[in-house]
């Protein structure tokens, strides 16, 4: 599968993987900041997201293969791989399945364990919006507000809007597969998968995604893992406290 990406800067290849219902463009500001430090940043749309192809196959194994294929196509090796949330799981699978490809791994606010699916209401709202084909972003926001109360979350989701035709907005992601295969993104990293190169787990202080009790499991799969906390940030740590997140990643890389 030929993934869509935006490439910024020159230097050591540094791939960034967005979370569920996101896209590479969500990381544009941080991508530019990393590129200024001498890295070639690849802001990737994972399958069924953004401008990348749609597929009924949607597992972390599939997404890890996509990253390997992307690296082969673009002749990338010894990559830095950063993933947030679902993208963090994809990054874990990629590093464990293709360790020769990855030089350093950065996982943002997710751990290798199973997570209970919890995006049902958001997907219900997005499916409702998509079926109504709103004629303005304001109209789309009003529709989605019936399902998603937090304005910041709605703004993030509505970045997926595009003009299907004059007067009709739609959503870029593959809602059908993402809705039907939601359970797949809850999957844990299977027993026995390990990546022993340098790894950073970076989590939001206010987030519940990576509690202290996950440390043992993280170290089991990633024996060299460092764990850092971003103060005054929740699950969206890279947006809520961008500067501290950036500094934490740069300390790890240098």
Q: DSSP for 101-167?
A: TEEEEEEES--SS------HHHHHHHHHHHHH--SSHHHHHHHHHTT---HHHHHHHGGGEEEEETT
Quick one: which of 115, 94, 60, 111 has its CA closest to 217? 111
* Residue 107: band (very low, low, confident or very high) from pLDDT cuts 50, 70, 90: very high
What residues pair up with 161 in beta bridges, in sequence order?
A: 171
State pLDDT tens for residues 166-176: 889 999 999 99
> Any residues with CB less than 8 A from the CB of 137 and at least 6 apart, and which?
158, 161, 169
Catalytic annotation, pick one of 85, 111, 221, 238: 85
Q: What is the pLDDT of residue 199?
A: 98
Given a cut of 90, whether residue 230 has pLDDT beyond it is yes
What is 5-114+187-253's CATH topology? Rossmann fold (3.40.50)
Q: What is the pLDDT of residue 165?
A: 87
Query: Locate tokens 């109504």: which residue?
Result: 132
pTM of the entire predicted model? 0.96
Query: Locate tokens 């103060």: which residue?
Result: 231
Q: Residue 2 burial (CB < 10 Å; 0-12/13-18/19+)?
A: exposed
**CATH 3.40.50.1820 residue ranges in the chain?**
5-114+187-253
Q: Contact at 8 Å (CB) between 150 and 144? A: no
DSSP string, 173-222: S-HHHHHHTGGGGGPPPPTT----S-EEEEEETT-SSS-GGGHHHHHHH-
Quick one: which of 156, 173, 152 has its CA closest to 50? 173
Q: How far apart are the first and last CA of the chain?
A: 33
Average pLDDT of span 80-85: 98
CA distance 38 to 243: 18
Active site (annotated) includes residue 85: yes
> Any residues with CB less than 8 A from the CB of 59 and at least 6 apart, and which?
181, 184, 187
> Any residues with CB less than 8 A from the CB of 166 and at least 6 apart, and which?
none
* Residue 160: band (very low, low, confident or very high) from pLDDT cuts 50, 70, 90: very high
């Amino acid at each position: 599968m030929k993934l869509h990406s935006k490439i910024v800067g020159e230097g050591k290849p540094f791939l960034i993987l967005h979370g569920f219902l996101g896209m590479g463009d969500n990381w544009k500001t941080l991508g530019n900041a990393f590129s200024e430090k001498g890295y070639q940043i690849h802001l990737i749309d994972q399958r069924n997201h953004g401008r990348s192809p749609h597929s009924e196959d949607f597992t972390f194994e599939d997404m890890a293969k996509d990253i390997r294929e992307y690296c082969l196509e673009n002749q990338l090796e010894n990559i830095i791989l950063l993933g947030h949330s679902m993208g963090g799981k994809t990054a874990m699978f990629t590093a464990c399945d293709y360790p020769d490809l990855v030089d350093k791994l950065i996982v943002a606010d997710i751990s290798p364990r199973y997570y209970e699916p919890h995006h049902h209401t958001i997907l219900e709202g997005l499916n409702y919006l998509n079926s109504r084909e709103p004629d303005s972003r304001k109209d789309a926001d009003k529709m989605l507000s019936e399902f998603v109360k937090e304005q910041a979350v709605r703004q993030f989701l509505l970045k997926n809007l595009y003009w299907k035709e004059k007067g009709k907005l739609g959503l870029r992601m593959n809602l059908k597969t993402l809705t039907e295969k939601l359970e797949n993104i809850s999957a844990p990293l299977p027993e026995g998968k390990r990546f022993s190169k340098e790894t950073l787990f970076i989590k939001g202080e206010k987030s519940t995604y990576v509690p202290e009790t996950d440390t043992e499991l993280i170290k089991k799969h990633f024996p060299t893992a460092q764990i850092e906390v971003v103060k005054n940030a929740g699950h969206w740590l890279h947006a809520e406290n961008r500067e501290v997140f950036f500094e934490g990643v740069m300390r790890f890389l240098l």
